[in-house]
Structures are given as structure tokens and as C-alpha cells.
């Protein structure tokens, strides 16, 4: 599908000051003029509806926000990749003609891995790389490991920079597969296409719908944007990101993988109960009518996982209609219902994240809230009326600090709750 043209309202990020700072760093590193520096802007993403269904071939929704990763770069004609980071110490240095091999031990993954992974993916897809890059990459401190897909943004940034200096024309669809190659084949991570699709395909004013079974996507325009009398066609809501202070979750991650397995078992049980000769292991292949007729055969855990999947698919359909009408009340209620189902049916979410979710629901002007990501760490997101965004952020900061003072103390004060706007897709500036 041809992407719609981006709107002017999503141009608040990156600011001229942010671009100037990144270009200045690259000029300092490379000895080139700052005017010759190009910048890849790769935004972070949120998914308002479609929680935990991508691995089951379900449909998910996504939009980007006005925060993300900036990679300033110039071409290095000798084929060397030379990189510095705003978040990590040291220097990355290697050549694009070096053969990159997949990482065997996930413990060794670091910030260099994504740059090498981008070269690996391009090499494996048959692209001829002659030029490397001299660059400086910077994300938003405190937003890594927050359920906003910062790792996908980094991988895509390296891909787009290498493609640019080598005069390669690569479609968003191909870059989605290239980033998937970085994550799956080079890093050995079991990630799907949700994150790169959201980052590469999103457009301001549109909600992106991605069918994870067919990998097709579509856009739905927010009707109130065309009616808005505000400057620059601004949307009538903001996005709150409230951070929990939780960063590490290995034991919980294993529990999350169990939930994925239970979804597969539920699909098999429903298929067998309906008389299918070949049992499917993904719920998207089970007809909703079959689920309603046969759900009584599922044991308790499997019944909850299936209930989440099928109820979430209904919420995605209703959410599409609400967004198209510009009905933020209905859209927000569906987001909150998704959050409740994540807790009750998918049974994910740590105690702290559930507390944060419940605080968001009580904040002034909040229309809907849910976890961003699996719900074991990172942040919660909320849709809030524009006029109440600052008051809602202040309420959440104060209430969560009362509930979790030690965790809040670990978060920089200016990163505890962010007021964000919807953004555009990844691009080279």
C-alpha cells in the first residue's frame, strides 16, 4: 500500500537544536563541515491496541512519538565504519567489507552489535557496500528497555545510513525484513515485524494497522485532524509515558514465553475440538465462531489466553472505527479494556506496572491507558486530552512516587512522566 503523505503536525521532532547538536558532533569527529552531515531520525513507537497478539498472527495498531534515535553521519570513502555514542563509552570501528557472523552468545550483545548487524543483514540480502559511515548516535536517556522499541530504532538507523551513503534504494517493506534479519539471524532474538513496521510505516495523523499474519498494513486517518482549527493541524490529544523504574525482568520473561506457548496450545486444542485434520498452532487460524463454540474444552490458563486474543481482536476492529470517527472517548475506553485484559486474561504485568496503570486511569483528562510492551518493566502509556496533559503528568508523578518511592528515585526527574505527541516515520534529514 502507498503510504499517505506525512502531515506538518508531526514535525516537532527532531528540533533544529537537536539536529544542530548531532551535526556538530559528527563534524567534530569527522573533520567535515556540519552542513554536509545527514541525520537519520528513527522514532520510538507505541501500540494503543493489539496487545500480545502479534506472535499469533493478529492485527496490531501503532503510531510513533516525537522522541527517538538520531544518527548523524557522513560517508567514509575507505569503507570504514567509525561510530561514537551519546549513551555509551568507547568507539566502534570496523569495515563494511568484513564478513559479519551471527552472535553466538546473547550475553555479548552491546551497542556495537546493531551496527555490525546492519552490515550483516545488507550483506546477506546481496547489497554491495563500498562506503562506510562516520557517525554519532544518540537516543533518549532513560527510554531504553521501556517497551518503546529503542533497539529496532537503532538497527533501522544504521540500515538507512548505510543505504544512503551507498546510494541504495530500499523500500520500507525491505527494511522491515532487513531489521528482522538483524534481530533474528544476527542477534538471535525472537522478535517479529511489529517494531520495525511501526517505525518505518507510521505517518502523522494516521493509525497504522498491521496484519501480522499477512504482513500487510493499512492506514486510518483521524477525522478530527481535518476538522481541527488549531495551528498546524494538531491532534486533540497527547500521549503520556509514565516510567516504572523497572529495568530487568529475566524471570518474568520466561513466564511471558510460557504465555506464548499457551496461546499455541489453545489454538491446537480449539482446532482439534472443531474437527480440523491439521491442528493450527496460531490463534489467527481459528475462526471466532469456532472459539465461541469450543472454548469450553480449554483448561483455565489456555481459556484466559484465548479470551485475551479474541477479545483484543474485537477491540482492534472497534478501535479502527472509533479512530476514524475521531471518537477519543471510545478509543480510550478500548485501550483501558486492553490493559485490563492484559492483567486478567494474559496475566502479565508486575505489581509496580499494575499500580502505575491504575494511577494513570485516575489522572485528570486521561481517556485510556495500558502497558507499553509486555508489562513486566518499562512504562505505561496513556491517551490524554491536550488541555489536561500537564495536570495529568503532575498527578501521576506524585501518586507513583507515593506508591514506589525507591523506584521513582532511580528515574531522572525529567524522565518520570513524558508528555508526547504522535510523530512521523523514520527518515533521513
Same domain, 170 and 33: yes
Distance from C-alpha of 246 to C-alpha of 350, rounded to nearest angstrom:
9
- CA angle, 111 as apex, 106 and 115 as ends, to 5°? 100
What CATH number should be reported for the domain holding residue 345?
3.30.70.890
Instruction: Quote the pLDDT of residue 224.
Output: 65
Judge whether 216 and 227 are in contact, CB under 8 Å: no
pTM of the complete model: 0.88
The upper half-sphere exposure of residue 299, i.e. CA atoms within 13 Å in the direction of its Cβ, equals 4
Same domain, 322 and 213: no
Domain end, chosen from 199, 223, 247, is at: 223
Domain end, chosen from 174, 201, 223, is at: 223
Instruction: Quote the pLDDT of residue 260.
Output: 86
Same domain, 210 and 230: no
Same domain, 188 and 319: no
Instruction: Quote the pLDDT of residue 11.
Output: 55
Domain end, chosen from 182, 198, 223, is at: 223
Catalytic residues: 195
Closest C-alpha to 198, from 48, 298, 324, 73: 48
**346 assigned to some structural domain:** yes
Same domain, 125 and 100: yes
**282 assigned to some structural domain:** no
Beta-sheet pairing, 80-85 with 132-138: parallel
Same domain, 219 and 229: no
Instruction: Give me the helix-helix angle, 150-165 and 111-124, nearest 10°.
Output: 50
Cell matching residue 302: 489456555
Instruction: Quote the pLDDT of residue 158.
Output: 97
**291 assigned to some structural domain:** no
**DSSP labels for 94-140?**
EETTSPP---S-GGG--HHHHHHHHHHHHHHTT-----EEEEEEE--
Same domain, 54 and 74: yes
What domain range includes position 155?
Answer: 16-223
Same domain, 219 and 237: no
Give the position of cell 472454548. 295
**DSSP labels for 65-87?**
EEEEEEEEEEEETTSEEEEEESS
**428 assigned to some structural domain:** no
- CA angle, 38 as apex, 194 and 217 as ends, to 5°? 20
Distance from C-alpha of 164 to C-alpha of 157, rounded to nearest angstrom:
11
Instruction: Quote the pLDDT of residue 378.
Output: 83
**196 assigned to some structural domain:** yes
**25 assigned to some structural domain:** yes
DSSP state of 315: H
Same domain, 191 and 250: no
Same domain, 329 and 370: yes
**426 assigned to some structural domain:** no
Same domain, 307 and 218: no
Considering its fold, how many domains does the chain have in total?
Answer: 2
Instruction: Quote the pLDDT of residue 147.
Output: 60
Closest C-alpha to 236, from 329, 362, 317: 329
pLDDT in tens, the chain (429 residues): 444 444 445 557 999 999 999 999 999 999 999 999 999 999 999 999 998 888 889 999 999 999 999 999 999 989 999 999 998 899 999 999 999 999 988 778 888 999 999 999 999 999 999 999 999 999 887 666 556 678 899 999 999 999 999 999 999 999 999 999 998 899 987 777 888 999 999 998 899 999 989 989 999 999 866 655 444 467 899 999 999 988 754 334 557 778 889 999 999 999 999 888 777 899 999 999 999 999 999 999 999 999 999 999 999 999 999 999 999 999 999 999 999 999 999 998 889 999 999 999 999 999 999 998 776 778 899 999 999 999 999 999 999 999 999 999 988 898 899 999 999 999 999
What CATH number should be reported for the domain holding residue 207?
3.30.230.10
Instruction: Quote the pLDDT of residue 251.
Output: 38
**292 assigned to some structural domain:** no
Same domain, 47 and 194: yes
Amino acid at each position: 500500500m502507498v503510504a499517505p503523505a506525512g502531515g506538518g503536525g508531526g514535525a516537532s521532532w527532531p528540533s533544529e537544536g537537536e539536529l544542530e547538536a548531532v551535526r556538530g558532533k559528527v563534524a567534530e569527529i569527522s573533520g567535515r563541515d556540519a552542513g554536509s552531515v545527514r541525520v537519520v531520525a528513527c522514532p520510538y513507537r507505541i501500540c494503543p491496541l493489539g496487545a500480545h497478539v502479534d506472535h499469533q498472527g493478529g492485527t496490531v495498531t501503532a503510531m510513533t512519538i516525537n522522541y527517538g534515535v538520531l544518527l548523524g553521519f557522513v560517508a567514509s570513502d575507505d569503507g570504514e565504519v567509525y561510530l561514537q555514542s551519546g549513551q555509551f563509552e568507547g568507539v566502534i570501528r570496523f569495515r563494511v567489507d568484513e564478513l559479519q557472523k551471527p552472535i553466538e552468545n546473547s550475553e555479548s550483545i552491546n551497542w556495537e552489535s546493531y551496527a555490525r548487524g546492519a552490515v550483516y543483514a545488507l550483506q546477506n540480502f546481496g547489497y554491495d557496500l563500498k562506503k562506510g559511515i562516520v557517525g554519532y548516535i544518540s537516543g533518549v536517556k532513560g527510554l531504553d528497555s521501556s517497551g518503546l522499541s529503542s533497539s529496532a530504532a537503532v538497527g533501522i538507523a544504521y540500515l538507512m545510513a548505510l543505504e544512503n551513503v551507498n546510494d541504495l534504494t530500499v523500500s520500507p517493506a525491505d527494511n522491515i525484513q532487513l531489521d528482522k534479519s538483524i534481530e533474528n539471524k544476527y542477534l538471535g532474538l525472537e522478535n517479529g515485524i511489529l517494531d520495525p513496521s511501526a517505525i518505518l510505516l507510521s505517518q502523522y495523523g494516521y493509525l497504522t494497522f498491521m496484519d501480522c499474519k499477512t504482513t500487510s498494513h493499512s492506514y486510518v486517518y483521524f477525522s478530527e485532524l481535518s476538522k481541527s482549527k488549531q495551528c498546524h493541524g494538531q491532534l486533540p490529544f497527547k500521549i503520556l509515558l509514565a516510567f516504572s523504574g523497572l529495568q530487568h525482568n529475566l524471570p518474568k520473561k520466561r513466564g511471558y514465553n510460557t504465555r506464548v506457548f499457551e496461546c499455541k496450545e489453545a489454538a491446537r486444542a480449539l482446532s482439534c475440538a472443531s474437527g480440523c485434520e491439521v491442528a493450527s498452532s496460531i490463534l489467527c487460524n481459528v475462526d471466532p465462531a469456532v472459539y465461541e463454540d469450543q472454548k469450553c474444552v480449554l483448561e483455565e490458563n489456555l481459556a484466559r489466553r484465548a479470551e485475551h486474543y479474541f477479545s483484543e481482536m474485537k477491540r482492534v476492529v472497534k478501535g479502527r472505527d472509533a479512530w476514524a470517527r475521531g471518537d477519543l472517548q471510545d478509543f480510550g475506553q478500548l485501550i483501558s479494556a486492553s490493559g485490563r485484559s492484559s492483567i486478567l486474561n494474559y496475566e502479565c504485568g508486575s505489581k509496580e506496572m499494575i499500580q502505575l496503570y491504575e494511577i494513570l486511569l485516575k489522572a485528570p483528562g486521561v481517556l485510556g491507558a495500558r502497558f507499553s510492551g509486555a508489562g513486566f518493566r518499562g512504562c505505561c502509556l496513556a491517551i490524554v486530552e491536550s488541555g489536561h496533559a500537564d495536570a495529568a503528568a503532575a498527578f501521576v508523578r506524585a501518586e507513583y512516587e507515593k506508591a514506589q518511592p525507591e523506584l521513582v528515585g532511580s528515574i531522572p526527574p525529567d524522565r518520570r512522566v513524558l508528555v508526547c505527541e504522535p510523530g512521523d516515520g523514520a527518515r533521513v534529514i
